[in-house]
Amino acid sequence: MSSDKNECSLEDVCDLLDKLALTQLHLMEDKMRCELGIESSINNGSIHLAKSRYIMGQSSVSKERLPTESSPEFTASITCNTVEEDYVKQVKVIETQGGINPIHWFGVLVPQNLHKAKGIFQNAINFVIECVNINIQLLENLDNYNILLKHKNNLLKDVKEELK
């Protein structure tokens, strides 16, 4: 009776392990898709940054224009927040209005390409958040898999001992 119970439970554990392994493969595929989305956004955005440099001059769109430690303080207009929905942790984007417009670091009359680059990188941030959420799920899935694998090994030991 006890052996039947164990075998049944072992079968359930094996099924669950298979499901977790399959989920992991899907998550890995999703992560790679997201990373390729980020790559494509960065490549497109970089082309528009290069076009802006061509129009405005080499040093006009460069790290020299970024704020430094001696610049006045300012807050980010895009931040994130971790929330837990149905026992699943998820990162969400928060857009704050009324902050500074980063485009003004590069001038007042900037080419249209810089506005396009801004839009493309904002889209990349959405891919980033999606990718971070997948990473969280990947790691949680891995933890669950390892716990179940240990449980399965214990069950196997019990079955072997009962057979002896």
Site for another protein in 120-159 (CB under 8 A): 120-122, 124-126, 128-129, 131-132, 135-136, 138-139, 141-142, 145, 149, 152-153, 156
Site for another protein in 58-87 (CB under 8 A): 61-63, 65-82
The angle at the Cα of 16, spanning 12 to 17, to the nearest 5 degrees, equals 115
Q: How far is the CB of 138 from another protein (least distance, A)?
A: 5
Provide, rounded to whole angstroms, the least separation between the CB of residue 128 and another protein: 6
Question: What track of x and - describes contact with another protein for positions 101 through 120 (by CB under 8 A)?
Answer: -xx----------x--xx-x
132: alpha, beta or left? (left if phi > 0; alpha if psi -120 to 50): alpha
The three-state secondary structure class of 97 is coil
Q: Which is nearer to another protein, 3 or 153 (CB)?
A: 153
Helix axes 2-56 and 112-163, enclosed angle (nearest 10):
160
Min separation Cβ 1 and another protein, Å: 26
Q: Which of residues 23-42 bind another protein (CB under 8 A)?
A: 24, 27-28, 31-32, 35-36, 38-39, 42
Q: In degrees, to the nearest 5, what angle opens at C-alpha 53 toward C-alphas 67 and 58?
A: 75
Q: What is the DSSP letter of 77?
A: S
Least distance CB 81 / another protein (angstroms): 4
Residue 105: CB atoms within 10 A of its CB come to 14
User: What span, in angstroms and rounded, lies between the C-alpha atoms of 38 and 32?
Assistant: 10
Nearer to another protein, 1 or 101 (CB): 101
The least distance separating another protein from the CB of residue 9, rounded to whole angstroms, comes to 16
* Single residue of 21, 112, 147, 162 touching another protein by CB under 8 A: 21
Whether the CB-CB separation of 112 and 86 falls below 8 Å is answered with no
